[in-house]
Structures are given as structure tokens and as C-alpha cells.
Amino acid sequence: MPTPTLSFSAFIFHVMLHQIVIMVARVTTSYRAVELGLSDIWIGVVGASFSLLPLLLATQVGTRIDRKGARGAFLVGAGCIVISVLGLFASGSSIIALLGWTGLLGIGHLLCLLSQHATAADQPTDSKRERMFGHYTALISFAQILAPLVIALFAGPGALPDTSLLFAVATLSGLMSLGCVLLMRPSAQPTVRSKPGPSLPVRQLLKQKGVVQAILAGVGVICAVDLLVIYLPVLGAQTMIPAGTIAAMLMIRALASLLSRLFFSWLLSRLGRRTLLTGALLATGVGLTLLGMLAPVSVLTLAMILIGIGIGLASPISMSWVTSVVPPTSRGLVLSLRLTGNRLAQFLLPMSVAVVAAGAGVSSVFLLLAAGLYGLAYTSHAALRPGSDKA
């Protein structure tokens, strides 16, 4: 059996490789869709397929992780990712293939992500849980810096990269991620071990103070990440911004998220959850507004910095918030509900905004999401007022 140190190192490398393969595969899928001459609506449909099947599976997976641990979900998820990126490499040359393989990629992503979240959430106190989520999301940000570098390295100088080569790189990354999962120790089963009580039903969980607002805050930032991955390459192709520049902008966003997460604990201790989450959602909204204005590249770079800071701070706060207001026996389930909300938005939003983009242009996608984030900033600020929840 792997030693604890080897297992922890394998977990770290798995998280990074997982983020790299997902980002490279999804960005490359958008470019492949452009190569195939698909319309903005079909590009949105392909993006939505990433979330359709996971939407139906999330709560069942979360409940199983609460009862059985994360080991099985880790293995199946990593295997699905390897198969999907290999499929995109070998046969991703039609709309049907893009839809099918992207759907399988989404299932693998859900299984791995829920397993990672459950591992990070298994902490004895709120402060340790928030610190763990800060470290975990910082690791994700670091991986999201590496992924655009990988894209830029193999993309070439044109507005459209060599998609076959990028899919091959994603396949190799997926295989290494699966290898890391095999080296990880089976996760402990705290629910079975300590038997603190039964898991709450979904309806009762959603009635817990702050749960719905925390889920919605997480949905907002996840949608911001998702639509950037889907539509920033399309915006670049339409405005003749080189693929390398688009990759650099994605890297800047991830770097800003990483730097903000390095100061996450310090900022949280001084500003509190309420102020920090509200400010993070507003910063993300302002950045998306700038993207929607079709500004020069220098201004778009500033927008990516704001978005990166906002996402970097809002994501760990929303995860720690939603797990702090439910019993430990329901953390896997509530995290799956959070991801269900994410996937529902990721399924509906790309298709909805694709219709808007077809009539008003890709930039309208970012303006639409910005408006939603301004609303989430208001509702989160109200839900975390002193006396209403843990602020």
C-alpha cells in the first residue's frame, strides 16, 4: 500500500494533472468546433454536453462518497477522462463525436472533482476546512497556469492551433493523472467510522441557513470559469487574437487566482467571509463587463486579472461556507448538490447564451454573466449578515 507521503504527493499531482487535461481538452474542443465550421449555437450545445449527464449523477455520487469513500469515484472518473480525450484525439471530427466525448469528459470531471472536494472537506474545524480549501484551490490555480502554457507551447502562431496535437497532449496528461490515482491510499470513511448520525435528506439540506446562497455563489464563479474556457477562444478566433495570446490571457487569470489564494487566509481573517465573498463576486462581474465591451488587449488583460482575483477568493469561500452549515455526514451530499447546481447552470447557460451570442455577438455572453454575478453579490451579502449565518 502506498505510504502517506506518497499518497499525498499523488493526490497533489492528480489535482494538477486533472485540471490540465480538462482545460486543454475543453479549449481544444472549442477550437475543433471552429475548425468544423460550427455555429455559435452548436458550440454552446457542445459546451453544455459537458454538464448534461453529470447533472443527473451528482447527488447519487455524493451520497455514495459519504457512505463508501472517494476511492471508487476517483478511479472511475480518471478512467472516463482518459477514454474521452483519447476519443477526441482519434475520432473527434464530427458534431456527434464532440458531443459524446465531451459528455463522457464531463462525467469523469464530476467524479474526480467530487472526490477531491470530499477529501478537502474532511477537516475537524471550520478554520482548518477553509485553510484546506484555500490550499486546494490554490493548487488548482497553479494547474490552470500550467494548462495555458501547455496550450501556448503546442498551439503554434495562428489563430487556430493544431487540435490533434493538443488532444494528444491531453491524452498523455490523462494517463498520468490515472497513474496518480492508482498510487493514492483509499480514503477514510469518517461517516462509517464514527457514526455521528444519518445523512440529511436533500430537501432538509436545502432548508439549512445559507446552503442555497452558498451554492448559488459557487455556481456563479464556476460559470465564469466555464464560459471563459468555451467562449474566450471563440472571441479570439472572431477578433483575430492569436491562440497564444488567448492562452496567455487564461494563464494570467489563473495566476491572479493563485496569488489571491496565497493571501486567502490572511484576507479572510481581516475582512471576514461576508465582505470578502461580496467583493470577490463584484470583482468577477466587473472583469466580465470589461470583456463584454470588446476593449483592447491591454484592457482585456486587466479584466482577466479582476476575474482571476474574484474567482480565486469566491470559490474556496463558497465551498467552506456550504460545508460549514451542514453535518459532517452530509458534506459529500451537499458538495454534490453544489456541483449539481454548477452543472445545471453549465448545461443551461451555454445553450441560452449561445442563442444570445448568435444575435448579439459573443461579447454579450460575458455581459449576461456579469449581471448575474452582481445579483449574487447582493444575495450573498444579505445572507451572511451578522445573526443570519456564520459570517
Give the contacts of 70 (CB within 8 A, at least 6 positions apart).
114, 115, 116, 118, 119, 187
pLDDT value of position 350: 60
The structural domains of the chain, with segments of one domain joined by +, span 4-186+202-383
Contact 274, 381 (CB under 8 A): yes
Please name the CATH architecture into which domain 4-186+202-383 falls.
Up-down Bundle (1.20)
Band (51; pLDDT cuts 50, 70, 90): confident
Q: How many residues does the chain have?
A: 391
Evaluate if residue 114 carries a pLDDT over 90.
Answer: no
The confidence score (pLDDT) of residue 222 equals: 79
pTM: 0.69
108 vs 47, residue with greater confidence: 108
Predicted local confidence at residue 304, as pLDDT: 93
Residue 62's pLDDT band (cuts 50, 70, 90) = confident
End-to-end CA distance of the chain, in Å?
Answer: 42
Average pLDDT taken over every residue of the chain: 81
Looking at per-residue confidence, does 330 or 10 come out higher? Answer: 10
Q: Quick count: other Cβ atoms within 10 Å of Cβ 7?
A: 17
For residue 229, pLDDT beyond 50: yes
Residue 346 has pLDDT above 70, yes or no: no
Dmax over CA atoms of the chain, in Å, equals 58
What local confidence, expressed as pLDDT, does residue 279 receive?
Answer: 94
335 versus 368: the higher-pLDDT residue is: 368
